[in-house]
Amino acid sequence: MKHRGSMSPAAREKAWRRYQHPTPSAAARAAAARYLKGHSATRMALDRLTSEVTAFDTLQELLQAHYTPTIRANHKGGMSVKYFAKVKALADIYDAAQKLRGDNRLAFRG
């Protein structure tokens, strides 16, 4: 990667956007699709994950919130590696599910 000072402002902005909103993995997209189709085991697992790392009880409630949620998927603030992996997975699944629903909101990964 180029030294920060040698990047154009447009390239720096693009790199920052990719960092803030990485493309969800194939596994995240598949999990989101199964959830939205009503697959019961997937729903139970993702609802449990959602309630564990957010104030929402279900992923559906999170998807229907009237704002863009902040899902802190950066490894700061004393977050354990295991917990960080769960939060990052939820952020990726949220982004994939919103895309499948036709909603352009993405999790703010602050």
Q: In 7-58, which residue ranges form alpha helices assigned H by DSSP? A: 9-20, 26-37, 40-53
How many domains are there within the chain?
1
Range of the domain at 95: 28-110
- Residue 109's pLDDT is 77
Residue 4 lies in a domain: no
Q: Is the pTM of this model over 0.85?
A: no
Residue 12 lies in a domain: no
Residue 63 lies in a domain: yes
88-105 as b/e: b if 16+ CB within 10 A:
bbbbbbbbbbbbeeeeee
- Residue 39's pLDDT is 94
Residue 16 lies in a domain: no
